[in-house]
Amino acid sequence: MPELPDIEVYREALERRVVGRTLERVRIVDPFVLRTAVPPVDALVGRRVAALRRLGKRLAFGFDDDRWLVLHLMIAGRLHWAPSADSAGSRQAGSGQAEAPAPPPGRNALAHFTFGPGTLTLTEAGSKHRASLHVVEGAAGLEAHDPGGIDPLTCTPAEFAAALTRENHTLKRALTDPWLFSGIGNAYSDEILHAARLSPVALTRKLAPDELARLHAAMRDQLNTWTERLRREAGDRFPGKVTAFRPEMAVHGKFGQPCPVCGTAVQRIRHADNEVNYCPRCQTGGKLLADRSLSRLLKADWPRTIDEAEARRGPGPSTIK
């Protein structure tokens, strides 16, 4: 699932291309992706995009008259940009290179949004149909799609500690809870915990003050580092390689490979759609986390699906202050 660094780089790329532009056409290929009927999506046609926001792992397109298109990519959703014929050969500001037209998306296309400079296409691999589009009105409509987790890049150490210890969960569970922290998922939580040298199953209320400080610093460093790395990789082009598995990562997706710090083989535990990758020497004092016992712990501590998570929390944003 695209997480904070990926969504932020998507947002920046789209901001350069569509803010101030009018939506000329919408084509919904798969009706299931559109989860609202009022206002109708066609009501956005002819309106100018005034703003783009990131709401956790969601992108929100703000149109004139305070209407919003909220896009959630979920696990397999991706965005593609195809410049129009008029703009494909033009040079992007400051790049010195023309932006080549993207190949047309295949059978996985869910929706197309055409602006003057080009067309944005939403695709989703697989058959589970989790990606979604919602059209809402006003601040209240937008707020209903914001889980309310605090911004991990701007929160103070005190705000971080208060959110983390509000409930007693495993660190892996807490970092990936959108009602606690905005935009962190499986991949970057693994990287954060490895950088902080903390076990993914340590309980939030058992952390010492120095461990809390270390985790807060690692969170900010990892998210900032990866956002900048992905930003440089994309340059002025539209992000074309959005994946949770990157060769530069320390532990995520590196099962059986040597830890870049100590050389110990990275270990992995899977439960439902969740995955824990860790270095036993750097993070758990050399202890291997037992697959069966950890799976029981995760079953109790982690919801199996986002629907289950939302049912546990209830509608609307978090009450964390």
CB within 8 A of 82, min separation 6: which ones? 101, 102, 104, 118, 119, 121
**Tokens coding 249:** 């990562």
| C-alpha span between 176 and 271 (Å, rounded) | 14
pLDDT over threshold 60, residue 310: no
4-143, superfamily in CATH? Answer: MutM-like, N-terminal (3.20.190.10)
Residues of the chain with CATH 3.20.190.10: 4-143
pLDDT at 313: 54
Condensed to tens digits (0 to 9), the pLDDT of residues 66-118 reads 999 999 999 999 999 999 877 655 544 444 455 555 555 567 999 999 999 99
| C-alpha span between 215 and 160 (Å, rounded) | 9
| C-alpha span between 60 and 62 (Å, rounded) | 6
Residues of the chain with CATH 1.10.8.50: 157-313
Task: Give phi and psi for 216, each to the nearest 5.
Answer: -60, -45
Condensed to tens digits (0 to 9), the pLDDT of residues 162-220 reads 999 999 999 999 999 999 999 999 999 999 999 999 999 999 999 999 999 999 999 99
User: Domain 157-313 maps to which CATH number in 3.40.50.1820, 1.10.8.50, 1.25.40.10, 2.40.50.140?
Assistant: 1.10.8.50
